[in-house]
């Protein structure tokens, strides 16, 4: 065994950065943070609109699903951050927590202590919101939450069109009401991205008791009997093992955390046996319950040159470098609208995300002409999938079976959203602007025509959760304190523990989970046991 620590955190993403900060705040606690990717030095990370260039680069795990039978057998690209800050370093910076009912459902699903009233203080703890402290926001946290510096004029048209088709205005998606259309607040500070690494890790990096290891791929959790005692990892071509005296904490996210559990002998017994992995504990729920937000784009060519297609001109670059203004400050997903596909639903089941640019291909493919994209996002899918191993080799990419649209109930809400977006594009706010091609075209009038568009164009909104489900029963992976069932000294703290996907984006809840986990971990240490 190598160096010894009190806590070993695997993964420096949204949750891992929060935990590294909070646990190392006690100078008596020695903390090791392992990150498989590099430091967050790429300039595109820090320029808000630059993240569109980061897909399929060294800071992206570059995952893809299995061919999806409901999507014309297409494999869907899944960018995931492989860098300090994780996906918070490559995302669209939209800060949207979800609906209160999301969290109030968690205790009903076997996770007491996670109701909205109980988790709201942890959301507020993280925030340094420009709107100041209040019932729903924090004012002195580490994560800067800002208004957008210079929203695109096309985004204003989207908001006007939303009201013209009957959607109310909502200026705070994280306040008492989620429903309605408005500008998204963003994780930015003075025109730069504020990732979890920038907000939480950078202030803690100087602490002598915190060790940050980049380019360090965790390969296995080391056990003594059924107690986790360390982590084996690969760095600079050599294998190392660090020991953790108190706890090992997985923060790899919905793909990597279940993968590492299975590689370490914890998971469905048939999966472990198939790949020749020595079994530590049979836990059938590992990798199951995979949920994601499917996003269907509606694309429209425009006569205006106001889109983000030319965001990288010399003039825009100079404006950004000198003034921190202009198109490069855009988070790309500038506005959103939340709505119900049926009037008797208790909360929104659809989100519209407005992008003042034309995105016809996969993430990272730049637009070739001026246009806009409105994504119809299914917030509460009935379909679920799984993460499985493809090999016992830790460097092998796992199998992602997203299972999109496998449940036919997921189709009607999407069709409702597509119909509404087409009404918006025909509203007065867009008159004279949308003069070119629209996809799906107006000739696509039947449900079959629209579903053909869904099969050809649907993609992920990058929100996988649920694969180490928190709760009780045979399919649960962690208990309500996030300890892995059947073993000691091991927790999972990331979006994989979410039992049911939220009606918002996943960056904020991942950090909230880490904030609450920090309190649980510190309390356990004070009691002197697991």
Q: What domains can be seen in the chain, in order of their start residue?
A: 1-39+76-95+186-290+463-530 (3.50.50.60), 149-183+294-378+406-457 (3.30.410.40)
Neighbouring-strand partners of residue 213 = 34
Conformation bin of residue 421: beta by default, left when phi > 0, alpha when psi is -120 to 50:
alpha
Helix (H) or strand (E) holding 228: strand 227-235
d(CA 398, CA 57): 18
CB 213 within 8 A of CB 194: no
Q: Please list, residue by residue across 178-203, b when 16 or more beta carbons sit within 10 angstroms of its beta carbon and e when fewer do.
A: bbbbbbbbbbbbebbbbbbbbbbbbe
238 neighbors 247 (Cβ within 8 angstroms): no
Contact 377, 199 (CB under 8 A): no
**Between the CA atoms of 37, 34, 486 and 103, what dihedral angle is there, to the nearest 10 degrees?**
-70
CA angle, corner 287, sides to 282 and 289, nearest 5?
A: 115
**42, two tokens:** 């790429």
Which token pair is 468? Answer: 């180490």
CA-nearest of 179, 407, 169, 158 to 294 is 407
- Give the C-alpha separation, 437 to 210, whole Å: 54
Task: Give the Cα separation of 13 and 200 in Å (integer).
Answer: 10
| Burial category of 426 from C-beta neighbours within 10 Å (exposed 0-12, middle 13-18, buried 19 and up) | middle
Q: Is 463 a catalytic residue?
A: yes
What 3 state SS string does 162-202 have?
HHHCCCCECCCCCCCCCCEEEECCECEECCEECCHHHHHHH
How far, in Å, CA of 232 to CA of 423, rounded? 55
Query: Which residues, 6+ apart, have CB-to-CB distance to 472 below 8 Å?
Result: 110, 479
SS3 at position 259: helix
CA–CA distance, 324 with 134 (Å, rounded to integer) = 28
> What is the C-alpha to C-alpha distance for residues 423 and 165, in angstroms, rounded to an integer?
7
Q: What is the pLDDT along the chain (530 residues), one digit of tens a residue?
A: 578 999 999 999 999 999 999 999 999 999 999 999 999 999 999 999 999 999 999 999 999 999 999 999 999 999 999 999 999 999 999 999 999 999 999 999 999 999 999 999 999 999 999 999 999 999 999 999 999 999 999 999 999 999 999 999 999 999 999 999 999 999 999 999 999 999 999 999 999 999 999 999 999 999 999 999 999 999 999 999 999 989 999 999 999 999 999 999 999 999 999 999 999 999 999 999 999 999 999 999 999 899 999 998 999 999 999 999 999 999 999 999 999 999 999 999 999 999 999 988 776 678 889 999 999 999 999 999 999 999 999 999 999 999 999 999 999 999 999 999 999 999 999 999 998 889 998 888 799 999 999 999 999 999 999 999 999 999 999 999 999 999 999 999 999 999 999 999 999 999 999 999 999 999 999 887 55
How far is 379 from 349, CA to CA, in rounded Å?
5
Q: Which position among 293, 453, 463, 505 bears the catalytic label?
A: 463
């Amino acid at each position: 065994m190598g160096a010894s620590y009190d806590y070993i955190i695997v993964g420096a993403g949204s949750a891992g950065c929060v935990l590294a900060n909070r646990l190392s705040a006690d100078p008596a606690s020695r903390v090791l943070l392992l990150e498989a990717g590099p430091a967050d030095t790429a300039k595109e990370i820090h320029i808000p609109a630059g993240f569109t260039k980061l897909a399929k680069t060294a800071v992206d795990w570059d995952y893809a699903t299995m061919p999806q039978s409901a999507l014309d057998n297409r494999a869907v690209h899944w960018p995931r951050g492989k860098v300090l800050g994780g996906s918070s370093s490559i995302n669209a910076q939209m800060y949207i927590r979800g609906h209160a009912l999301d969290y109030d459902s968690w205790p009903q699903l076997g996770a007491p202590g996670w109701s909205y009233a109980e988790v709201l203080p942890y959301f507020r703890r993280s925030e340094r919101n420009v709107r100041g402290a209040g019932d729903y926001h924090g004012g002195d946290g580490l994560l800067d939450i800002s208004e957008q510096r210079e929203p695109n004029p096309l985004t204003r048209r989207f908001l006007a069109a939303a009201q013209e088709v009957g959607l109310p205005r909502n200026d705070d998606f994280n306040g008492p009401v989620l429903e309605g259309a408005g500008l998204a607040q963003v994780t930015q500070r003075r025109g730069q991205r504020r990732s979890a690494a920038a907000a939480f890790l950078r202030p803690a990096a100087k602490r002598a008791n915190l060790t940050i290891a980049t380019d360090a791929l965790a390969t296995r959790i080391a056990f003594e009997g059924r107690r986790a005692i360390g982590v084996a990892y690969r760095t600079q071509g050599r294998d190392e093992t660090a020991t953790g005296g108190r706890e090992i904490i997985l923060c790899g996210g919905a793909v990597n955390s279940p993968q590492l559990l299975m590689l370490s002998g914890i998971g469905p017994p048939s999966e472990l046996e198939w790949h020749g992995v020595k079994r530590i504990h049979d836990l059938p729920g590992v990798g199951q319950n995979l949920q994601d937000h499917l996003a269907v784009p509606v694309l429209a060519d425009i006569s205006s040159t106001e889109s983000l297609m030319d965001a990288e001109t010399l003039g825009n670059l100079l404006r950004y470098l000198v003034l921190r203004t202009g198109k490069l400050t855009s988070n790309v997903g500038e506005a959103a609208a939340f709505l119900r596909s049926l009037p008797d639903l208790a909360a929104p089941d659809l989100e519209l995300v407005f992008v003042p640019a034309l995105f016809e291909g996969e993430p990272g493919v730049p637009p070739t002409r001026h246009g806009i994209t409105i994504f119809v996002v299914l917030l509460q899918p009935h379909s679920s999938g799984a993460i499985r191993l493809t090999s016992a080799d830790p460097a092998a990419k796992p199998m992602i079976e997203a299972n999109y649209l496998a449940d036919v109930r997921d189709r009607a809400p999407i069709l409702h959203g597509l119909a509404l977006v087409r009404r918006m594009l025909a509203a007065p706010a867009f008159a004279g602007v949308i003069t070119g091609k629209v996809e799906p075209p107006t000739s696509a009038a039947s449900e079959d025509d629209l579903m053909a568009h869904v099969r050809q164009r649907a993609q992920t909104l990058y929100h996988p959760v649920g694969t180490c489900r928190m709760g009780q029963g045979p399919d649960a992976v962690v208990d309500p304190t996030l300890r892995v069932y059947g073993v000691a000294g091991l927790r999972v703290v990331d979006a994989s523990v979410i039992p049911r996907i939220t009606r918002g984006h996943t960056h904020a809840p991942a950090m909230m989970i880490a904030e609450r986990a920090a309190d649980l971990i510190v309390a356990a240490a004070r009691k002197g046991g697991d």
